[in-house]
Amino acid sequence: MSAPRVLRAADRTAVPWKNGGGVTREIAAWPEGSGVDGFDWRVSLADVGADGPFSAFPGTERILTVVDGTGMGLTVARRHLLAERYAPRPFPGEVATHGRLLAGPVVNLNVMHRRGPVTASVAVVRGGLPVAVAADATVLVVALDGPAEVAGTQLGRYDAVLCDEPAVDLRTDGHAAVVTLRRTG
């Protein structure tokens, strides 16, 4: 167990998507420094300014949550999904996926994890609540559209806290994403 680790949005570098169609800013990944192909799990924010294909990530599951902008229409293989603001949408990472912007650019919170060693879930919350962290899990809290406080630490927009303590308190005036990453092996 260690103290929560603060990950400031201002410290993130924009890097090109795997397919070159836009940019992403990695919030956290495990193992650290693993890059876009060697992670067990990875959480990032992606700027999407145009319709187009998603990068393929074989052997992964993805959860996309629109956190800024109106939303996206997703075509995952032949299945159509509507990705609206603050509504997490899971889909397989290796399946051909195409995004269509509904009304201008969006920012997406992307959670990706390898099948087998990790499972993931995303909940978007408001207000105050205790966040429980299981012994086999790591929790990442990301402030989305307003100030937040996690374990006594003040967060601005897109700042995050990585936690593996048994419980932390979360308070937000806006929305926050609570990403739970559970080790299965």
| 118-183 CATH | 2.60.120.10
Q: 90-144, pLDDT tens digit by residue?
A: 999 999 999 999 999 999 999 999 998 899 999 999 998 888 888 888 999 999 9
Where b means 16+ CB within 10 Å and e means fewer, 59-71 reads: ebbbbbbbbbbeb
Q: 68-83, pLDDT tens digit by residue?
A: 999 999 999 888 988 8
Q: Token digits for 91?
A: 């889909």
Whole-number percent of the chain with pLDDT over 90: 69
35 Cβ partners below 8 Å, 6+ apart?
none
**pLDDT value at residue 167:** 78
Confidence of residue 185 (pLDDT cuts 50, 70, 90): low
- Cα separation of 169 and 5, whole Å? 14
pLDDT above 70 for 25: yes
- Cα separation of 141 and 129, whole Å? 12
Which residue from 160, 110, 117, 151 is spatially nearest to 137, judged by alpha carbons? Answer: 117
- Cα separation of 130 and 75, whole Å? 36
44 Cβ partners below 8 Å, 6+ apart?
24, 25, 26, 27, 109, 110
Q: Which of 17-21, 141-145, 147-151 has the highest mean pLDDT?
A: 141-145
- Kindly list the domain boundaries of the chain, sorted by start residue: 12-114, 118-183
Single pTM value for the model: 0.93
| 12-114 CATH | 2.60.120.10
Which residue from 6, 20, 3 is spatially nearest to 142, judged by alpha carbons? Answer: 6
